[in-house]
Every structure is written in structure tokens, then in C-alpha cells.
Amino acid sequence: MASIIVNGGRPITGEIRVGGAKNSALKLMAAALLAPGASVIRNVPDISDVTLMAEVLSVLGARVTREDHSVLVDATDITSVETPYELVAQMRASIVVLGPLVARFGRARVAMPGGCNIGSRKIDMHIHGLEHLGVNIAFEHGFIDATAPEGLKGAEVLLDFPSVGATENLLMAAVRAEGATVIENAAREPEIGDLVDMLVAMGVQIEGRGSSTLVVHGARELSPVVHTAVGDRIEAGTYLVAGALGGGPVTVTGFDPAHLEMLLTKLELVGCEVAVHADGATVRREGPIRPVDVATLPYPGFPTDMQAQFMALLALAEGNSVITENVFENRFMFADEIKRMGADIDIEGHRALIRGVHALQGAPVRSPDLRGGAALVLAALVAEGETVVSDVHHILRGYEDFCGKLASLGADIRMIEE
Ligand code: UD1
């Protein structure tokens, strides 16, 4: 088990380039299953979730090779349509192979994801959507058994909620359906637009990119492609919040600042100066941190994946702030940990009341999940004394060279293996 040790109080300033989006790269790799031949995904981050997705694809028979930040997926000889529990249990996003497998082979068996530490995270919308497209679904021995012996049929699917994963699974299932599929109330996250771009390049006609209505005209044959993943707006947002906490200036490049508009607006409201560039943004703060209310919502709302990092910032505000979490239940485990560093936070249901304190103190804390773990490290950068963040395998799932990048901004930070 690895831990990150931070000695707080160093100035945080400089420039960082972010990699491709984790939440895009994983789905683009799955999309490669749709076409026989070798697809190449560029700008893929070197993180453990990508290693796991490579393993998922390998178990199915795909040949996966990684070089630098490119991943080649040769999906010519898929020998199995079954994704085992030990992989799905480690990474819920593995469920995204369901759509492409059933589209190309008319069959998929994917282990049911278990509970998760950020809420129950149901998959009902994935299942109902696939059923609308003519897929028979059975739940057997812990597996979702999806079959479409007659092929998939285009249909209209209205999602209860703009679920990112359900939109992606349905998009990838619909690409081989007969006729048009309309996905209403689709998620609009930039990573969905990225997946649409890859599918279009593979030969599918899709209307409505970036909107909540996607129309997919199924294609008979798809071709492999070379595709570059969109920059990681959440990785970028994490380093921008580090700049806001430490004062900066911190410049982050490698992403489209339009994808972080809501976060950048909130950073201005807390008292930061934000400058937007073609390929990134710069944040600096001279005055105190002002309190501000935040509500997480599907894109273009405030991203739930930035909620914990922003809470770390508000923990040091001059006054009280409220964060309302509308996307996931139980996504406040981070609050209990940062309270151990002196933060004053009360949770009631899906609301957190954060009473700003003057300073945080270094303490031993535990990463509750990926973003919560990153947020604890951010808090540690400005805390008094030493913080030891344990269970950092969560952080390594989604941040490439987290310690190295923060050290390049001046942080006194190191990772140790215990
Ligand atoms: C993806 C992201 C995650 C991000 C989230 C929301 C990946 C690998 N993960 O997760 O980082 O925080 O989007 O932006 O891309 N729900 C249902 N039934 C379903 C599907 C979802 O009730 O069939 C609920 C979930 O429990 C959750 C909400 O909908 O409360 C949002 O989930 P969803 O948008 O699907 O998130 P993921 O795709 O799992």
C-alpha cells in the first residue's frame, strides 16, 4: 500500500500540462471493440484504470499494446464476450464493454458491478435502454447476460437522468442497430462528444453531438481509426484548485477551458483571478478565499468529480458555504477525513455546510476514493506541518504522476510504498 507525504506551506506556482481524459480514454478503448482491425487511441494517460481496461480487452481476446501515451487495440480476433467479476469489481467502468460487444457479436456477459463507495450506482438505465434496442437481458449467477440473436433494432430511448455511462453504452450499442436510434436526455459531458467523434470517424452517422438528443444511424461495418482523446478537464481542475489554495499563479494547459466554465466561474467567485487561454487557464489569488455555494449537476453544471477538491478550498474560506451533491449519493466521505485536519463541516443528506477555518493542520488521513484522495493532497499542500495520505491507490487510478506534477509546482511531496 502506498502513501503520499506532504509538508504543507510551500508556495504553489508554475505550469502543468494535463493528459487525455481518463473518462474518455476508457470508453474510446472499449469503442475499439466495434471494428475488426487495429485502432489507436492517442493522448491516453498512464494510470491504473487504463491498465485495467487494457486487461478487460485482453481477456476478451483483443491485442492491446501501449507505447508512450498511445494505446493500440487490435480487435480482429475477439475470442470471448465475457468480462469476469474480478475486473468489473476493480473498475465499474468495465461495464462499458456491454454495448460494443452486443453490437458486434449479438452477445455479451458482463459481471454485475457490486456496490461502490460513492453511492449505490445503479445500472437500470443501461439495461432498460438496451432492452429498447431489442437486446434480451437476463441476470444469471452474478452476470448480465445480453443477447440479440436477431441483431439490434433502432428505437427511441428516454433516459430518466443524463447518465454518462448509460449514454455511452447505448451509443455504442446503437451503432450496429438497424435504423435510427434516438437517445433523449443524453449526457452532454465533453467525453461523450469525444466518443461521438471516434464513432463518426469509424463510419457511423450521429446527429446532435453536444446536445441532449443524439440520433444514431446504425452502420453495417465499422473501420478502425486513429483517435486522440480530449484533454482531462478534471485533472486540470484539480491543479487549478491547487493554485487557488496556494495563491499561484498556476497555469494548466492541455485541455479546453470551455469544458470547465462552471468551475472557472466559481473560482472567480471565491476571489481568484482567472485567465483563459486557447489550450488552458491560469489561476491566481491574492485576497482571502470567499465563501460560495455550489451544486453539482450533469454537464455543463458543476462537475461532481470536482466537488471534493472544491470543498478543500471552501474549508479555508472566510465564512460559510453550502455544497449540494445532486449526482451521487454518499459522496461526502472526504469530509470526514478533512475534518481530521481541522475543517469544520456538517453533512445533512446531500448537503454539506462548510464553515471556513483559518488554517488546516497536517494529519494522517485516508483516501476515501479517487477525487477525495486528490482533494486531501490539495488540502495538505496548504496545511501546517506534515500530512500522510494513505490508500493512495485510489488516486493512482486517475492521476498520472500526481506527486511529480505537484512537486514541479513547488510542493514538498513524496510517495512511499509501505
Ligand atoms: C461517470 C464518470 C464519473 C463521473 C460521473 C458523473 C467514468 C468512468 N466515470 O460515471 O467520474 O463522476 O460520470 O459525471 O466516466 N444511475 C442510475 N442508473 C443507471 C446509471 C446511473 O441510477 O443506470 C445514477 C448513478 O447511480 C448516479 C447518477 O445516475 O447517481 C450518475 O451516474 P452516471 O452519470 O452514470 O455516472 P458514471 O457513468 O457511472
Point out the ligand 1 atom lying closest to the alpha carbon of residue 126.
23
Ligand 1 centroid to Cα of residue 114, in Å, is 14
Q: In this predicted structure, what is the pLDDT of residue 114?
A: 65
For ligand 1, atom 28, the nearest C-alpha belongs to: 327
Give the tens place of pLDDT for each residue, 42-70. Answer: 999 999 999 999 999 999 999 999 999 99
pLDDT for position 116: 53
Regarding the beta carbon of 119 and ligand 1, being less than 6 Å apart is answered yes
pLDDT digits (tens, 9 = 90+) for 74-127: 999 999 999 999 999 899 899 999 999 999 999 999 998 865 565 667 899 999
Distance CA 186, CA 233 (A): 20
Cβ(308) – ligand 1 distance below 6 Å: no
* Centre of ligand 1 from the C-alpha of residue 283, in Å: 29
With CA atoms as reference, report the closest residue to 398 among 205, 238, 250, 257: 238
Report the chain's mean pLDDT, rounded to a whole number: 96
Cα–Cα distances in angstroms (integers) from residue 360 to residues 9, 233, 346, 363, 379, in the given order: 10, 27, 16, 9, 8
For atom 31 of ligand 1, the residue with the nearest CA is: 163
Whether residue 160 has its Cβ less than 6 Å from ligand 1: no
Percentage of the chain modeled with pLDDT above 70: 98
Question: Quick one: average pLDDT of 152-167?
Answer: 97
- Taking the centre of ligand 1 as the mean of its atom positions, its distance from the CA of residue 37, in whole angstroms, is 30
Whether ligand 1 lies within 6 angstroms of the CB of 397 is answered as no
| pTM for the full predicted model | 0.97
By percentage, how much of the chain surpasses pLDDT 90? 93
Orientation of helix 370-382 relative to helix 233-246, angle to 10°: 20
Mean pLDDT of 164-178: 97
Per-residue pLDDT for 33 more than 80? yes
- Can you tell me the distance from the alpha carbon of 24 to that of 13, in angstroms, rounded to the nearest whole number? 28
- Render pLDDT for 306-364 as a digit per residue (tens, 0 to 9): 999 999 999 999 999 999 999 998 899 999 999 999 999 999 999 999 999 999 999 99
Ligand 1 pocket residue status of 98, Cβ below 6 Å: no
Q: Atom 11 of ligand 1 has which residue's CA nearest to it? A: 305
Q: Is the CB of 139 under 6 A from ligand 1?
A: no
- Whose alpha carbon is nearest atom 34 of ligand 1? 163
How far does the centroid of ligand 1 lie from the alpha carbon of residue 54, in Å? Answer: 21
Query: Given this model, what pLDDT does residue 330 score?
Result: 82
The whole-number pLDDT of residue 117 equals 60
| CB 279 near ligand 1, within 6 Å | no
- Per-residue pLDDT tens over the stretch 271-282: 999 999 999 999
Residues noted as catalytic: 116
> What spacing in Å lies between the alpha carbon of 186 and ligand 1's midpoint?
12
Pairing of strands 156-158, 180-184: parallel
Grid cell at residue 52 = 485495467
pLDDT above 70 (res 168): yes
CA-closest residue to ligand 1 atom 2: 23
Question: Residue 275: its pLDDT value, please?
Answer: 98
Q: What pLDDT, on the 0 to 100 scale, is given for residue 188?
A: 98
Task: Tell me the CA–centroid distance for residue 165 and ligand 1, in Å.
Answer: 6
pLDDT score at 231 = 98
Is residue 136 a contact partner of residue 147, using CB atoms and an 8 Å limit?
Answer: yes
Q: Whose CA is nearest to atom 37 of ligand 1?
A: 165
Q: What's the pLDDT at 418?
A: 78
Label each residue of the chain as H, E or C: CEEEEEECCCCCCEEEECCECHHHHHHHHHHHHHCCCEEEEECCCCCHHHHHHHHHHHHCCCEEEEECCEEEEECCCCCCCEECHHHHHHCHHHHHHHHHHHHHHCEEEEECCCCEECECCCCHHHHHHHHHCCCEEEEECCEEEEECCCCCECCEEECCCCCHHHHHHHHHHHCCCECEEEEECCCCCHHHHHHHHHHHHCCCEEECCCCCEEEEECCCCCCCCEEECCECHHHHHHHHHHHHHHCCCEEEECCCHHHHHHHHHHHHHCCCEEEEECCEEEEECCCCCCCCCEEECCCCCECHHHHHHHHHHHCCCCCEEEEECCCCCCCCHHHHHHHCCCCEEEEECCEEEEECCCCCECCEEECCCHHHHHHHHHHHHHCECEEEEECCHHHHCCCCCHHHHHHHCCCEEEEEEC
Pocket test for ligand 1, best of 22, 121, 194, 306 (most atoms within 8 A of CB): 121
